A and B are shown apart, each in its own frame.
Chain A
Amino acid sequence: MKSGVGVELDNLSIRFGDFTAVRNASVTIEQGEFFSFLGPSGCGKTTILRTVSGFQEPSEGVVRIGGQDVAGMGPNKRPTALIFQNLALFPLMKVWENIAFSLEVKGVPRAERRKRADELLELIALPDQGDKLVDELSGGQRQRVAVARALAAEPQVLLLDEPLSALDLKLRQHMRTELRAIQQRVGLTFIYITHDQGEALTMSDHVAVMREGVIEQVGDGKQIYDDPATAFVASFVGENNAFAGTVKSVNNGHAVVSTAAGDLPARIATAARGALQPGDSAMVFVRPENLAVAESGAGGDNHFAATVANEEFEGQSYHVFLKAEGGSEIKMTLTNQGQSRAPSVGAAVTLSYNPDQAVALPSGALSDQE
């Protein structure tokens, strides 16, 4: 099996008529890494993948695979293999014929094709299933066959377009681990597309978060989650409580933002350092798990008042929904520690958080997902 190569998108723009599906995308994907594009539906993820695999020519910019400009090179000439959003297995061929199709194309004799297909079936933990038809497999098995079929072509870059989206939650979690394991075993570069942030964070070495055709941030999972670069990333990845206001003061990498809920201190996100000045409109993001109920009567900047509106018990944790002053809705997640009860509905409480765990960012569009 060949080893992976890097992929570079250099100032890529892709237009359909007047509509710009991808705008000035620049990313460097290292060889052998698991790289994800994460973004809501319609943000241009598939379009990027189709451009890398050669089904779509960029309107501007360059795609380099293994350092080589691939402009004008057809999909059959590129060292990439694409796993389609709907898998696109061939329903009239047996499983092993599906897997060995790329070898058939290369003129490999039948016995050898069969042998190679059986090896790959072994790799994806589906031995002895080669003679079935695709329809006779379960969703997860089909998904693995699609991976095997792509691997059989000996690509250097494997492109995966939301291959898990059709699976139920349990199977999806299982397949994530398995995909990751396959990737580490074969050492190929995986470019993975998803609109499921959990999927992106668990599997990837690096993630690019996209919104409306623009890459808003590239980083590893922890950076994306803890140090978002834009308000959109902060609200799209994981859950976040957003407080909009204006910067009151900036001091030593921290800002205090005047919001309807009060003056809230927060660490300024790395990407926003130097960009936030007193008077600018800004947002403070505090994650539900970073909020806590303060001792009654406690005070300070990192405290604010809220009223409990609802609560959900979820076994290991409680989700408490509150309304802050000024009406913004807040979610707080408390770990279930046995004896302590979450505050009861209607109670007025004071919430506190550690300003280092809150992020201040310039105001911007938020994700509209719940």
Chain B
Amino acid sequence: MNIGTLARKFFEKNGVGMALFMMFGVSFWILFLIVLPQLTMVDFSFRFKLPPDAIGGPQDVYTTTNYEYFVNGNPGNIDGWNRVDVTVFWRTLIAALFVTIFNFVVCYPIAYYMAKVATGSWARLLALSLVVPYWINEILRAFAFRIIFGDAGLINTVLKTIGVIDSSIDFIRADVALYAGLGYAYILLMIFPLYSAIESLDKNQIEAARDMGSPWWRIHWRIVMPFAKAGITSGCTMVFMLSAGALAAPQILGGPSSLWFTQIIYQGFFEYFNWNRGAAYAIILLVSCMIIVLSIMKLFRVKMGEIGR
């Protein structure tokens, strides 16, 4: 079928007015909200930081300075390379990976329970109880975690009262609060793709495997997880991308010494007012995340098309 017939079908099916409106809406969305801002950022990242009156002048040429800075740092620094930024970059990616794995481990049983075990009003209540906390603003939730994990917070108080510890544990410095906060922030984005993937699995397949003597872990490993592969990938992708790109949680819950790469990007933009370097860093993060996600998809043989479902 060629584009001409496709277009005609589309107009016939939706009516001219609706079809035009949809085409306009979708193009506007893609162009102005997705393509142009990203292109502007890419453009920014390849330019020098210039005073406003020099922009567009003879000095305003393309350069890779901002990317080189990420690797080399200031000329003549002690390490010979940009130790701080690169270390934070790797730490952020690895931490985001762990947050993702941790999230999956926590969410998979919940999603499975909701999809295949819980029934009727109990299942609905469960879904509601997962959603309700998200009615509260993300920043407030992060502060709530700070209070729970703080020196005189709930957890320390309880542990001290029952005598497990003598003095408070600094959960904030140990980044426990950060990981917990990040993990919690994206739980829904993990649970729902998992849930909808597992939901559509025929219960008889699970029973058939059980009938053939399979222990529960093998049922999950061989039947449920392969079936839910697309849902697992899309949940993990979202959680990974969003935790790597999170700003509020690291800002509020991060220990004094630990930086998240997004905080460095933020500093570039709003503390050094170097938008060009900030843009370059943001693109480094975006591209790295995409490469990681695509290689993991390749590894698990998931196609892009399966994820959208």
- A residues sitting closer than 8 Å to B (CB atoms) are 53-55, 74-77, 80-82, 84-86, 88-93, 101-102, 104-106, 149, 153
Give the complex CA separation of A75 and B208 in angstroms.
9
B227/A105 in contact, CB under 8 A: no
Question: In the complex the two chains form, is B204's CB within 8 Å of A101's CB?
Answer: no
Question: Does B7 count as interface, using CB distance less than 8 angstroms?
Answer: no
> Can you list 19 A-B pairs, Cβ within 8 angstroms, ordered by A?
A54-B211, A75-B210, A75-B211, A76-B211, A76-B212, A76-B213, A76-B214, A76-B215, A82-B208, A82-B211, A84-B204, A84-B208, A85-B204, A88-B207, A101-B214, A101-B222, A104-B222, A105-B214, A105-B215
Q: B interface, how many residues as a size bin?
A: 10 to 19
Residue contact A88 to B227, C-beta cutoff 8 Å: no
B208 contacts A88, CB within 8 Å?
Answer: yes
Q: Which residue of B lies closest to A84 (CB)?
A: B204
Question: A80 CA to B211 CA in the complex, in Å?
Answer: 8
Residue of B nearest to A106 (CB): B213
The residue on A at minimum CB distance from B226 is: A92
Residues of chain A within 8 A of B209, CB atoms compared:
90, 101
Min CB–CB distance A319 → chain B (angstroms): 40
Alpha-carbon separation in the docked complex, A86 to B207 (Å) = 12
Chain B residues close to A by CB (< 8 Å): 202, 204-205, 207-215, 218, 222-223, 226-227
By DSSP majority rule, is chain B's interface helix, strand, loop, or mixed?
A: helix
Q: In the complex, which residues of chain B have a beta carbon less than 8 angstroms from the beta carbon of A106?
A: 213
Interface SS, A side: loop
CB of A105 within 8 A of CB of B208, answer: no
In the assembled complex, the CB of B216 is this many whole angstroms from the nearest CB of chain A, namely: 10
Which residues of chain B are near A54, meaning CB under 8 Å?
211
- In whole angstroms, how far apart are the Cα atoms of A153 and B215 in the complex? 14
Contact A75 B207 (CB under 8 A): yes
Which of B204, B212, B215, B223 gathers most chain A CB within 10 Å?
B212
Which residues from B are CB-within-8-Å of A105?
Answer: 212-215, 218
Q: Which residues of B lie under 8 Å from residue A93 when comparing CB positions? A: 222
Docked CA distance A53–B210 (Å)? 11
From the candidates B202, B213, B218, B226, name the one contacting A88 in the complex (CB within 8 A): B202
Q: Are B210 and A76 within 8 A (Cβ)?
A: yes
Closest to B218 in A: A105
Known contacts A54-B211, A104-B218; can you find 5 more A-B pairs with CB under 8 A? A55-B207, A74-B210, A84-B208, A88-B204, A92-B226
> How long is the Cα–Cα vector from A88 to B211 in the complex, in angstroms?
11
Question: Which one of A54, A55, A84, A106 has the greatest number of beta carbons of chain B within 10 Å?
Answer: A84
User: Complex formed: what's the CA distance from A15 to B78 in Å?
Assistant: 79
List, in ascending order, chain B residues with CB within 8 A of A89's CB: 208
Chain B residues within an 8 Å CB radius of A80: 211
Indicate if the CB atoms of B212 and A88 lie closer than 8 Å: no
> Interface centre among B202, B208, B210, B218, by most A CB within 10 Å?
B208
Minimum CB–CB distance from B202 to chain A (whole Å) comes to: 6
Complex CA–CA separation, A149 to B210 (angstroms): 13
What 6 A-B pairs come out closest when comparing CB atoms?
A: A88-B204, A102-B212, A88-B208, A76-B213, A84-B204, A92-B226
Chain B proximity of A126: nearest CB distance (Å): 19
Contact (Cβ within 8 A) B204 A53: no
B210 and A88 contact, CB distance less than 8 A: no
Contact between A88 and B205 (Cβ–Cβ < 8 Å)? yes
Q: Point out the residues of chain A lying under 8 angstroms from B213, CB to CB.
A: 76-77, 102, 105-106, 153
Q: Measured between C-beta atoms, what is the minimum distance from B153 to chain A in Å?
A: 45
Contacts of B226 in A (CB 8 A): 92
A70 to chain B, nearest CB (A): 14
Residues of A within 8 A of B214 (CB): 76, 101, 105
Nearest CB in chain B: distance from A165 CB, A: 14
B231 vs chain A, min Cβ distance (A): 14
Complex-state Cα separation, A85 to B163, whole angstroms: 57
Q: Note all chain A residues with C-beta closer than 8 A to B204.
A: 84-86, 88
Chain A residues with Cβ below 8 Å from B223 are: 90
- Taken together as a complex, chains A and B put the C-alpha atoms of A32 and B90 apart, in Å, by 66
- Specify which chain B residues have a CB less than 8 angstroms from the CB of A82 in the assembled complex: 207-208, 211
Residues of B contacting A55 in the complex (Cβ-Cβ under 8 angstroms) = 207, 211
Whole-angstrom distance between the alpha carbons of A54 and B208 in the complex? 12
Return the contact of A101 from the options B202, B212, B227 (Cβ within 8 A): B212
Cα A91 to Cα B212 in complex, Å, equals 16
Instruction: Report the separation of the CA atoms of residues A54 and B211 in the bound assembly, to the nearest whole angstrom.
Output: 8
Closest residue of chain A to B201, judged by CB? Answer: A91
Q: Are B212 and A81 in contact (CB under 8 A)?
A: yes
User: With the chains together, A53 CA to B213 CA distance in Å?
Assistant: 12
Contact of B211 among A53, A86, A92 (CB under 8 A): A53
Compute how far the CA of A104 lies from the CA of B219 in the bound complex, rounded to whole angstroms. 12
Shortest distance between the CB of B97 and any CB in chain A (Å): 26
A210 to chain B, nearest CB (A): 22
A289 to B144, CA, bound (A): 82
Contact B202 A153 (CB under 8 A): no
Q: In the complex, what residues of B have CB within 8 A of residue A81's CB?
A: 211-212
Question: How many whole Å from A169's CB to the nearest CB in chain B?
Answer: 25
Assembly CA distance A88 to B214 (angstroms): 15
Which among A53, A86, A149 is the interface contact of B202 at CB below 8 angstroms?
Answer: A86
Q: How many angstroms between the C-alpha atoms of A365 and B194 in the bound complex?
A: 49
Nearest CB of A to B111, in Å: 19
Residues of A contacting B205 in the complex (Cβ-Cβ under 8 angstroms): 88, 90
State A53–B208 Cα separation when bound (angstroms).
Answer: 11
List the B side residues contacting A101 at CB < 8 Å.
209, 212, 214, 222
Distance in Å: Cβ of B32 to nearest Cβ of chain A: 41
CB-CB nearest in chain B for A75: B211
Shortest B253–chain A CB gap in Å is: 40
Please, which residue of chain A has its CB at the minimum distance from the CB of B209?
A101
Q: Name the residue of chain B whose CB is nearest to the CB of A76.
A: B213
- Chain B residues with CB under 8 A of A92: 226-227
Q: How many Å from the CB of B133 to the closest CB on chain A? A: 34
Q: Are A153 and B212 in contact (CB under 8 A)?
A: yes
Kindly provide the distance from the CB of A51 to the nearest chain B CB, expressed in whole angstroms. 13
Q: Which residues of B contact A90 (CB under 8 A)?
A: 205, 208-209, 222-223
Q: How far is the CB of A189 from chain B (nearest CB, A)?
A: 16
Which residues from chain A contact B218 at a C-beta distance below 8 Å?
104-105
Residue of A nearest to B208 (CB): A88
Q: How far is the CB of A142 from the nearest CB of chain B, in Å?
A: 13
